[in-house]
Amino acid sequence: MFDLTGRVAVVTGAGQNVGEGIARLLAQRGAAVAVNDLFAERAEGVAEGIAQEGGKALSAPFDVTDPEAVGTGMAHVAEQLGPVDILVNNAGVPPGMGVTPFREMDPGEWSKYVDLNLYGVLHCTRAVIEGMCERNWGRIVTVSSGAGQTGLNLGISLYGAGKGAAISFMRHFAMEVAGQGVTANTVALGLIDNHRDPTVTAAMARQVPVGRTGQAADIAPSVLFLVSEEASWITGQILGVNGGNLML
C-alpha cells in the first residue's frame, strides 16, 4: 500500500520543516523527488540527505512566484527525472513573514502572501497539469492552513487570505480535472512547532486538543496517502491535520 515506485514528485518549499518531511517520506516510498526551495543550499541539503538514505532526489531550486522560473525549473525536473506525476504545493511562508494586524499593514506588504500562497500554487499547477491529463494520472496536494478556513486574531489576515484562496482554487480545479485521472486535494495544517523556545511550545500545545503541537513527521503521512494510487477516489477535499485544533 502507498507504494510510489516509478512516480516522479515535486515538493515545493521542501528545503526544511514540513516540506522536507514530505519529500523524505515520498522518496522512502519509492518516488523520485524533486526538492524545490527558494534557497538552493536548502534544496541541495535535503536532496543529498535523501540520496544518502538510498532514495532518488534532485535539487530543484526556483521561486514558485516567478512563472518563467517555474516553467524552466519544471522542464529541468522532467528532463532529469521524467514527467511529473505528483505535485505538492507546500511553499507558503514568505521569507521574513511577520504578524501584523491588517490596519497596521502597508498595502505594499499584501502581495507577498497572495503571490506565494495563490499564484505560486497556480504557476506550479499550470506547469504540470497538461502532462498529467495526457497521461491520465496525476496527484496535486496543496498544503494550506486552518488560517485559510477560519478567523484568527493573530495578525495574519493576508496570510489567511492567500491560504483560503488556494483552498477555493483547489476545489474548483479538482472538478475540472476529475475526469482525467487527476486528483486535487488540500491538507489544512494546525499549529506546527518550528520554535525552539519551550515556553512558546507549551503555550501553543495548550490550544491543541491532543495536547501537543504538530511536527513535520505528523504531516507527511497524510500527503503520502493523498498522492497514492489508493486515494484515487478522493478529490476536492480538505483534510485537517491539526491535532483537533479545528473541527469542521
Ligand X SMILES: NC(=O)c1ccc[n+]([C@@H]2O[C@H](COP(=O)([O-])OP(=O)(O)OC[C@H]3O[C@@H](n4cnc5c(N)ncnc54)[C@H](O)[C@@H]3O)[C@@H](O)[C@H]2O)c1
Helix locations, 33-140, DSSP H: 40-52, 67-81, 110-114, 120-135
16 in contact with ligand X (CB under 6 A): yes
Q: Which of 4, 8, 10, 15 binds ligand X (CB under 6 A)?
A: 15
Q: Is 113 among the residues known to form the active site? A: no
- Return all residues near 92 (Cβ < 8 A) that are at least 6 apart: 13, 116, 117, 120, 143, 144, 145, 162, 163
> Nearest 5°: CA angle at 27, between 9 and 40?
70
Report the residue number, 87 or 189, with the smaller CB distance to ligand X.
189
Report the residue number, 93 or 114, with the smaller CB distance to ligand X.
93
46 in contact with ligand X (CB under 6 A): no
Q: How far, in Å, CA of 127 to CA of 140, rounded?
A: 12
Q: Quick one: which segment of 2-10, 37-45, 173-181, 221-229 binds ligand X (CB under 6 A)?
A: 37-45
Q: How far, in Å, CA of 116 to CA of 83, rounded?
A: 24
Matching residue, cell 503571490: 115
The answer to whether 6 and 33 have CB atoms below 8 angstroms apart is no
13 in contact with ligand X (CB under 6 A): yes
Q: How far, in Å, CA of 29 to CA of 54, rounded?
A: 11
Q: Quick one: which segment of 27-35, 52-60, 90-98, 170-178 binds ligand X (CB under 6 A)?
A: 90-98
Q: Report 182-201 residues binding ligand X (CB under 6 A).
A: 189, 191-192, 194
Q: Which of 4, 11, 26, 38 binds ligand X (CB under 6 A)?
A: 38
243 in contact with ligand X (CB under 6 A): no
Minimum Å distance from CB 235 to ligand X? 20
Q: Quick one: which segment of 7-15, 78-86, 125-133, 231-239 binds ligand X (CB under 6 A)?
A: 7-15
As beta bridge partners, residue 138 has 182
Contact set with ligand X (CB under 6 A): 12-13, 15-19, 36-39, 42, 63-65, 90-95, 116, 120, 143, 145, 189, 191-192, 194
